[in-house]
Amino acid sequence: MAQSIYFTTPIYYVNAEPHIGHLYTTALADTLKRFHRLMGDECRFLTGTDEHGEKIAQSAAQAQVSPQAFVDNISGVFRDTWQQIHIDCDDFIRTTEPRHVRYVQRILQQVHDAGDIYFDEYTGKYCVGCERYLTDSELVDGRCPDHQTVPNEVKEANYFFRMGRFQERLIAHIEAHPDWIRPARYRNEVLSFLRVPLEDLCISRPKSRLTWGIELPFDDAYVTYVWFDALLNYISALVSPPEGRDISERWWPVCHHLIAKDILKTHAVYWPTMLMAANLPLPAHIDVHGYWLSGESKMSKSLGNVVRPLTFDAHFGIENLRYFFFREMKFGTDAGFTYELFIERYNADLANGLGNLLSRTAGIAHRSFGALPPKGTATETSENIADQAAALTAGYRDAFEGRAFHQAIEDMRHLLAATDRYINEMKPWALAKDPERRDDMAQVLYTGLEVVRILAILLAPIMPRKCADILAYLGETRPLDGAVPFAELVAFGQLSSGAPIDKAPQFFPRIDAQKWAQEFAQQTADTADASDTSAQDKSALATAPEVPRVMAPPKPEITIDDFAKVDLRVGMVVSGHEVPGADKLVRLMVDIGEAQPRQVFAGIKSHYPDPAQWVGKRLILVANLKPRQMKFGLSEGMILAGSSVDKQRLVVASFDGELCGGDGVR
């Protein structure tokens, strides 16, 4: 029976451009929407950007632009990124939009009128990174566990939401709906948190400290706390959707909200109590996933270990990464990402697996028939494969609805492996040489190609464009939007026999892992000394001389437009190496948020003899300097340095603060 489902992702904070942590949650919603449409369900999907708060105001000030100009830029990058990689959202909301501002003020006034917002003075430990007050129990060694900073002691008068008034009601809801928070470990985590009394929530910031926010409707001297603002977007988008009419009554009760585990408390405690105070229903489900880890660390912009979606797409294809996401992560737990692991999985599952099965069966069919083969006469083995395919499709919906994506893909791989064994045993390439075995050959090829057709339908929610190309090649033109019942689409034996077939393109060309590693190693290879570099290179990599230098005269003036041509980026050094045979150079690998760290040769060895001392530090990199092919390697930028006060040594410009790796320097 068809159902309606409303998928929402967190709205992403616009203090940096999107990375694959954002992509995973967004691709999850996109995949679930496509899956449920395949099942015949009606779906709506919302994502967007969170644009108010103290961090945004600070970032805008550092960039020397208005907060509105700052958020317009980054929000546009999010929207454009999702469009370029074909994320199929129905609405994209920004918390600076008038439709959202109006709704937030309406709810604030309603909750205030009900007596659940009051004014008081408060002293507490405030974390700017979290944009909230932290309790002593939340601190680890006196620091915020997420940002590793010591909170500021702040005393000020503010408005407070009586969150504690709704604690027992929230507990009762969670206990009455065991699958409201999924997986169960996160439900238990929330219940554990709720064992102690909830403190009331500070929901305002005085304009004397912060003006960038939604003004309180009952006191124009204050703006709204960013979480009370942001958490209402999931319903404000329905009250004022692009369609122009309120559709909240239809979609809000069927909201399935998708989040990472780091924002569980705000979405499973703050949000539902706010909704209760406003007499609004709670979302149907909160689905919580784990972190993507780079090494042992969470992938995050503050650690400088992020991967940008568009950069990855340019190198490897974003849909291949989506497959990796659902293949590698058991929903709710953490999973690791490295390029080496991605390539290994891609080659094993897609290039050598699905792609290989398609290319070799289609290749023989093209040569032998010039068309998709006839069914031939079924055998016991081929019937077993058909039965295995039927079992796979029968359990497919339960696996996806239970968020067991990895298990569904594992079952697909088992079917693929069984089909490969069958083809290897039957050797259709040998049967093609025997005119009397033409029927047997046709049957083997048909079985292999039919398995590919069914797997392409099952994988289409994850890899929509790639699978659409495969299905079109196999003559499967029926839409995957519920117009044709799912059971009918995946019933074994529907391959379009006789349809013309060209030589199969390489849908999943193999990535040469060794070649890729060599290319990467070449970029990071040791270089000899800079004796053959040009004068420009020597200037860029210059070391301080042995004697104090005379102050150089100023260079000719430039305009702000000239300076704007220089792209200065914050880069985190991920490794530092000596350069054998070079008495001036060190080799630094600098991560500025691209797919791979950049190799930079710097003439600082006489002043910093141990290049490893820079690991973990953030430097300023001239990111758009034309790469220079030196004698034994490529230098992909220049770090900034200057003379010390006594003119005796070179000092590299670096940051002690928590600047975002990859962000521009202004």
Q: Is the peptide bond before 183 cis (omega within 30 degrees of 0)?
A: yes
- For the question of residue 202 being annotated catalytic, the response is no
Q: Of 52, 256, 301, 406, which one is the catalytic site residue?
A: 301
Nearest to 528 by CA among 585, 469, 490: 585
Nearest to 19 by CA among 224, 304, 396, 263: 304
Judged by DSSP in three states, 250 sits in helix
Catalytic position from the list 22, 112, 267, 466: 22
For the question of residue 43 being annotated catalytic, the response is: no
Please, what is the end-to-end C-alpha distance for the chain in angstroms?
Answer: 56
Q: What are the CA-CA distances from residue 206 to residues 59, 219, 266 (Å)?
A: 19, 10, 22
Per the annotation, the verdict on 267 as an active-site residue is: no
Distance between CA atoms of 108 and 449, rounded to whole angstroms?
Answer: 59
* Helix, strand, coil % over all residues of the chain, rounded to 5: 45, 20, 35
Task: Give the strand pairing for 91-94 and 117-127.
Answer: unpaired
Active-site residue flag, 467 = no
CB neighbours of residue 616 within 10 Å: 12
The verdict on whether 19 is a catalytic residue reads yes
The answer to whether the CB of 611 falls within 8 A of the CB of 628 is no
Q: Which one of the listed residues 89, 130, 255, 467 is annotated catalytic?
A: 130
Residue 123 parent element (H or E): strand 117-127
**Burial class of residue 449, CB neighbours in 10 A (0-12, 13-18, 19+):** buried
Alpha helices in 163-225 (DSSP H): 167-176, 184-193
Cβ atoms of 432 and 364 closer than 8 Å: yes
C-alpha Rg value of the chain to the nearest Å: 29
CB 428 within 8 A of CB 445: yes
Helices 167-176 and 184-193: crossing angle, nearest 10°? 160
- Catalytically annotated residue among 147, 173, 285, 617: 147
Name the residue among 84, 104, 139 with its Cα closest to residue 11.
104
Quote the CA–CA distance of 32 and 169 in Å, as a whole number.
30
Q: Does the annotation mark 515 as catalytic? A: no
Specify the 3-state DSSP secondary structure of 385: helix
Catalytic residue among 52, 100, 112, 127: 127
From 19, 36, 125, 289, active-site residue: 19
DSSP letter assigned to residue 643: E
Contact 63, 74 (CB under 8 A): no
Active-site hit among 43, 89, 144, 467:
144
The answer to whether residue 301 is catalytic is yes
Catalytic, out of 125, 257, 298, 466? 298
Is 660 an active-site residue? no
C-alpha span between 18 and 89 (Å, rounded): 16
Q: Which residues are catalytic?
A: 19, 22, 127, 130, 144, 147, 298, 301
